[in-house]
């Protein structure tokens, strides 16, 4: 009886190990996400399934998932802790220097200058006219950023990494 029990455990063990690894990866490393809405148009049309990388370092212009407690938003990072950010006449200024904004679609509404605190980031959607972003919700904390995403799983005709501009 004991030998049969050990044999059954040996047969099940690889499956349990695979399940454990999948749960570990999904919880701490990467997970699939669904894009909803058009706030990232023209980069994303709102129907994509992507991979969220929970370990990646956040860089300027990275696409991130932000948890606002009410919802998860997909946005692009523009401002980092300690930076002064302002939007005037549709132009973005970081530390009083105008930056290139290759991802903007539509006109970016003005935003009074602020200096981001130690743990704050400024995020914008690419489709500025419809985006709920830091202009309306304020800066986001590092703890609200769940990870970065730049890999499309679906639709299959867009499968792969997003091109940087």
User: Distance between CA atoms of 120 and 83, rounded to whole angstroms?
Assistant: 9
Q: Which pTM value belongs to this model?
A: 0.89
Q: Checking phi first, is residue 90 left (phi over 0); if not, alpha (psi -120 to 50) or beta?
A: left
User: Distance between CA atoms of 86 and 116, rounded to whole angstroms?
Assistant: 11
User: What's residue 67's pLDDT?
Assistant: 96
Find the catalytic residue in 2, 4, 10, 39.
39
DSSP string, 13-33: HHHHHHHHHHHHHHHHTEEEE
User: What's residue 144's pLDDT?
Assistant: 98
Find the catalytic residue in 4, 69, 75, 146.
75
User: What's residue 1's pLDDT?
Assistant: 65
CA-nearest of 94, 60, 92, 93 to 77 is: 60
Q: What is the number of other CB atoms lying within 10 angstroms of the CB of residue 123?
A: 25
Report domain extents, the chain.
Answer: 2-161
Q: Checking phi first, is residue 82 left (phi over 0); if not, alpha (psi -120 to 50) or beta?
A: left
Q: Token match 């349990």: residue?
A: 16
User: What's residue 57's pLDDT?
Assistant: 95
Q: What angle do CA 124, 128, 129 make, to 5 degrees?
A: 145
Residue 141's DSSP bridge partners are 120
For the domain 2-161, what is the CATH code?
Answer: 2.10.109.10
pLDDT 10s per residue in the chain (165 long)?
A: 677 777 888 888 888 888 888 888 888 889 999 999 999 999 999 999 999 999 999 999 999 999 998 999 999 999 999 999 999 999 999 999 999 999 999 999 999 999 999 999 999 999 999 999 999 999 999 999 999 999 999 999 999 999 888
Cis, peptide link before residue 62, omega less than 30° from 0: no
User: Distance between CA atoms of 140 and 154, rounded to whole angstroms?
Assistant: 28
Half-sphere exposure at residue 30, Cβ-oriented, CA atoms within 13 angstroms: 10
User: What's residue 6's pLDDT?
Assistant: 77
- What are the structure tokens assigned to 100, written together? 């290139």
- Is residue 39 annotated as part of the catalytic site, yes or no? yes
């Amino acid at each position: 009886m004991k030998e049969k029990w050990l044999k059954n455990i040996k047969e099940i063990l690889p499956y349990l190990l695979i399940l454990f690894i999948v749960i570990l990866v999904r919880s701490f490393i990467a997970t699939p996400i669904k894009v909803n809405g058009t706030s990232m148009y023209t980069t994303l049309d709102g129907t994509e399934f992507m991979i969220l990388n929970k370990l990646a370092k956040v860089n300027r212009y990275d696409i991130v998932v932000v948890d606002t407690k009410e919802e998860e938003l997909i946005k692009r990072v523009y401002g980092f802790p300690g930076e002064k950010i302002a939007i005037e006449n549709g132009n973005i200024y970081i530390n009083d220097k105008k930056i290139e904004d290759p991802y903007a679609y539509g006109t970016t509404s003005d935003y009074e200058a602020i200096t981001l605190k130690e743990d704050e980031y400024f995020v914008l959607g690419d489709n500025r006219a419809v985006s709920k972003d830091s202009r309306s919700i304020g800066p986001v904390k590092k703890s609200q950023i769940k990870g970065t995403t730049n890999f499309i799983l679906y639709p299959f005709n867009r499968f792969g990494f997003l091109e940087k501009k």
